[in-house]
Structures are given as C-alpha cells and as structure tokens.
Amino acid sequence: MDDTVDRPRSAFSRRSLIAAGTAGLAVPAIGAGVALTGGTAKAFAGVTKKITIYAEALPGGLFGYGLEPGKATVPGPLLEMYEGDTLEITLVNTTTQRLSIHPHGVDYSTDSDGSPFNDSFNDPGETRTYVWRSREMFAAAGRRFMPGSAGYWHYHDHAMGTDHGTGGVAKGLYGGLIVRRRGDILPDKQFTVVFHDMTINNRMAPNTPMFEANLGQRVEWVAIGHGNLFHTFHLHAHRWVDNRTGMLESVSDPSPTIDNKDLNPGSSFGFQVLAGEGVGPGAWMYHCHVQNHSDTGMSGVFLVRNADGTMPPGAQEAIDRFRGHTHTTTTSKTNDAHGGHG
C-alpha cells in the first residue's frame, strides 16, 4: 500500500493538475505529489475538474480508492482544489460491497452526500458521479465574514457495513482533501497520516509508514482521525502554527506554535514544515501521544536525509532499533479503557 503521495514526476505538473482548464478538462490525478518547488498557488476561478476514482478490494481484507484501475491505496489519493473550484468525481465500485465517497469541508447537494440516508451510494459494480463545490469567504452583515472552504479536510466511505460506513472506514476507504486559497505556498512533498483506532494508515509499528524528505524540503502533513478512540498527533523536533496553514500569517499573528494536537474521529488538520529546520537531518518519530497507544504500535518514522539525499549518521541505526522494538500492550486500566492491543 502506498502511504504518501510523493511519487515520480509525470508529464502533468501540479499547476496543470490543480488549475486544469475552465472547460471542465478531465485529468488523471489531483495533486499526485508532483511538486512545484518554491511556488505559490494560482488557479482560475470556477474551474471544474473531472476525475475517476476506483474503489477496489485489496489483500488482507482491506479496501482502497485509486485513480487508476488496480492502483487503489490506503489511504486513498490526496485530492486538491482551490476555493471556487468544483470536483466532479466518478466513483467506480469494482467490489461486491455497497460503498460511497463522502467529503468534509466542501459543498454538495443531497444526491452527492455519499450516505444511504440520502440514497447516495454505489451498489456493487455501480458507477456514480459525486459533485463537490468550494467557495471563497464572503462579506456578511455586521462587518463579519462567512468562511470559505480552504482547509485540510478528508473524504471517506459512508455506506459499507452500516449506513455510516463503519466497515468501509475500518477497512481503508478514506483519504485527504485539501482546499487551497490562492497564494498558498505549495510543498515539495506531502504525507497523509490517518489515525484509526490503534493503527496508522491501517498499520501498526514497526510496519507503519516511514516518510522521507531531504533537509530543507517543504513538507506538508495532512492528519486525519477515524474510529472510536481519542488521539493526539506529535511530530518530533518540528513545530507548526495552529491555524489554517501551519505558518504565521504576519508578525502579529496570535496563533500558538505547537508540536502536538488532538486528532479525534472525524477531525483533520494540516501544516507545512521545513524538514530538519533548526535541528538537522536524522530519523525523527511521529506518533500518538496517548501513552498506551504509542506503546502498542501507533508510531512511525520521519526520515530527514541530508540535503543531497544521503543517509545522515545514526539514522539507519535508529530505524533498525525502531523495526526491532517490541510494541506490547501496557497493563494499565487506561489501556483497557481505550481498547489497546499488541
């Protein structure tokens, strides 16, 4: 399973993928990890982008979303759009299960809700189109503003197993959704991290994803919560600002600087950091900071290589220690209350 959207460059640049033409140009991917280094976000207003997503069964009883047949992953592809854009998603259900795709943070009609409540889902083998719209902030009465759609959001199944998609989410039918504001800084690399019950991207340590970047690269993290448990997300040696972008908007921006944030079922947030800024290259942990969760496997590795891509001293040894570490259930009553397991 592919855990990042850091993939080889293709003939499509990120600029062409996000700002695909005003005539509803169909594109094969949205934000497929082709970086526009050091650039800023630009897009046409009112762009409609059409994509096809395939829901597929995966080994081990999992399910995933993919942009091509046979390419489904857990999590699914990271989708991107700009405020004012529309996504037309044709969902092809190749499985024998009822399923759907339901977004957070954007606008949609009831027939694109992705829930059985609104009779909006794909039967086994069915193809269905879902339309997601976004908008910019606008002025309201009393010198106030109504919020736009910009933010780090997510999408997931809402129909497999139960009318709330509990079975589909548990088996990997989820992914990240970014709505950008024009002028936002674009990253070099993007990582999607989903905390679901006691797993990260449906894995437990030492088999959780290892994310990699070179020293100084701009890295964007999208953190998503699912399941039934309380979590926090902590990234070692790196900090971000607790606002929409993770970066200070001005010298007077009052947003607090943090390195740990609650990540609970249905919530999501994102931020950008410069890999190794102020601390240098090395193997750094990311994990849930609920102690018995990290003890029992909710941890992973963020490898910051040297600027030239070589391995920094001590990093391989740290990775080897992580892979050899035995993650076991603690015996505390807190662990029992949270359903921990080894």
Instruction: Report residue 161 as tokens.
Output: 């197993």
Q: Does residue 148 form part of some domain?
A: yes
Tell me: do 304 and 219 sit in the same domain.
yes
- 117 and 252 within one domain: no
CB of 183 closer than 8 Å to CB of 324: no
Of 49-53, 163-167, 338-342, which range is least confident?
338-342
Pairing between β-strand 174-180 and β-strand 151-156 as defined by DSSP bridges: antiparallel
Q: Which of 35-39, 89-93, 118-122, 209-213 has the lowest mean pLDDT?
A: 35-39
Helix (H/G/I), strand (E/B), else coil: 188? coil
Question: Does residue 46 have a pLDDT over 90?
Answer: no
| Alpha-carbon gap, residue 15 to 43, rounded angstroms | 8
Is the pLDDT reported for residue 238 higher than 90?
yes
287 and 324 inside one domain = yes
| pLDDT for residue 15 | 38
**137 & 69 share domain:** yes
Q: Does residue 205 share a domain with residue 104?
A: no
Q: How far is CA 117 from CA 102, 158, 204, in A?
A: 12, 10, 33
Q: How confident is the model at residue 189 (pLDDT cuts 50, 70, 90)?
A: very high
Instruction: Give the separation between CA 20 and CA 339, rounded to whole angstroms.
Output: 46
Domain count of the fold of the chain: 2
Domain region containing 280:
189-338
Residue 259 lies in a domain: yes
Please report whether residue 8 resides in a domain. Answer: no
Q: How confident is the model at residue 329 (pLDDT cuts 50, 70, 90)?
A: low
Is the domain of 172 the same as that of 198?
no
114: nearest Cα among 56, 158, 173, 166: 158
Q: Mean of the pLDDT values across residues 90-110? A: 98
What is the pLDDT, as a whole number, of residue 35? Answer: 30
Selection from 249, 123, 130, 275 nearest residue 184 by Cα: 249
Q: Looking at the structure, tell me whether residues 165 and 87 fall in a common domain.
A: yes
CATH for 288: 2.60.40.420
Torsion, Cα of 99, 105, 108, 114 (10° steps): 10
User: Phi first, then psi: what are they for 116, rounded to 5°?
Assistant: -60, -30
Mean pLDDT, the chain, whole residue set: 86
Binned at pLDDT 50, 70 and 90, residue 29 comes out as very low
Backbone angles phi, psi at 217, to 5 degrees: -70, 145
Whether residues 194 and 223 fall in one domain = yes
Residue 9 scores a pLDDT above 50: no
Q: What is the mean pLDDT of residues 139-157?
A: 92
- Pairwise pLDDT comparison (17 vs 243), residue with the higher score: 243
Place of tokens 């460059």: 9
**Domain boundary residue among 126, 159, 180?**
180
Is residue 259 located within the same domain as residue 286? yes
- Contact of 296 with 328, CB cutoff 8 Å: yes
pLDDT of residue 331: 44
In 125-255, DSSP assigns E strands to: 127-133, 138-140, 144-146, 151-156, 174-180, 189-196, 199-200, 210-214, 218-226, 232-235, 240-241
Shared domain check, 172 and 244: no
**Residue at a domain's end among 180, 211, 245:** 180
Q: Quote the DSSP letter at residue 242.
A: S
pLDDT at 3 over 70: no
Residue 2 CA, distance from chain mean position: 12
User: For 288-311, how does the pLDDT look when each residue is reduced to its tens digit (9 = 90+)?
Assistant: 999 999 999 999 999 999 999 999
Query: 157 falls in which pLDDT band (50, 70, 90)?
Result: very high
**Is 3 inside any structural domain?**
no
Q: How is residue 126 written in tokens?
A: 């069915």
Q: What is the pLDDT of residues 106-115, one digit of tens each?
A: 999 999 999 9
Q: What pLDDT score was predicted for residue 327?
A: 65
Residue that the structure tokens 């030239």 belong to: 308
Q: Residue 141 has what pLDDT?
A: 86
Concatenated DSSP letters of 25-76: -B-S-SS-S---TT-B----TT-EEEEEEEEEE-GGG-EEEESSTT--BSS-
Q: Are residues 145 and 243 in the same domain?
A: no
Length of the chain: 342
Cα–Cα distances in angstroms (integers) from residue 97 to residues 55, 66, 160, 164, 339, in the given order? 10, 16, 7, 14, 28
pLDDT at 14 over 80: no
Q: What is the pLDDT of residue 40?
A: 61
The residue ranking higher by pLDDT, 140 or 30, is: 140
- Under the banding of pLDDT at 50, 70 and 90, the label for residue 18 is very low
Band of residue 137 on the pLDDT scale cut at 50, 70, 90: confident
Q: Do 170 and 23 share a structural domain? A: yes
Q: What is the pLDDT of residue 68?
A: 97
